[in-house]
Structure 1
């Protein structure tokens, strides 16, 4: 599982015109089963996305296609973790430690 932290690198006035395209990109990733939660940070200086996948390179490729990235208004920090414990509703995303 991955925590994707977006940090705006430009003023919100440059971010807002790209918001509709960003939301469409989010919707595509939800439909593909990659994203399971997302939202703005408070204060509004970026956002957080929870993503599932086995391949960090695939996740980084997905984040590179975000209109916020291609529009040069945000940067991503990708943190991979092993979700060994979850709420019952997220049981299908539980992972086992190797070895």
Structure 2
């Protein structure tokens, strides 16, 4: 599993200007079966996506995010080897 942590490099107004295409990109990650959960950081300094899949494919997909293309946010990718989950979240162990 991967924790994709986005940190805004530009102000929230600039992020808002790319939010619609970014959210279309996020929905694409869900459609591919890679994204499991996502949301904004509190306070709003970026966001977090929980993802599964092959690292190289995830990295290539991140490069196509409008937030990346327009320099709105940078990503930190943390790989997590999940060993224990509550019932129903076994997908996280992939």
Q: TM-score range by the shorter chain?
A: over 0.9
Match of 1:90 in 2: 89
> Which one has a bigger Cα radius of gyration?
1
- Which aligned pairs between 1:72-83 and structure 2 lie closer than 5 A? 72-83=71-82
> After TM superposition, which residue ranges in structure 1, 4 or more long, deviate above 6 angstroms?
none
TM-score, normalised with respect to structure 2? 0.94
Name structure 2 gaps, 5 residues minimum: none
Distance 1:8 1:93 in 2: 26
Shift of 1:87: 2.2
Structure number with greater CO (CA < 8 Å, separation at least 6) is: 2
Q: Does the residue aligned with 1:57 lie in a helix, a strand or coil?
A: helix
- Which aligned pairs between 1:61-80 and structure 2 lie closer than 5 A? 61-80=60-79
TM-score, normalised with respect to structure 1? 0.89
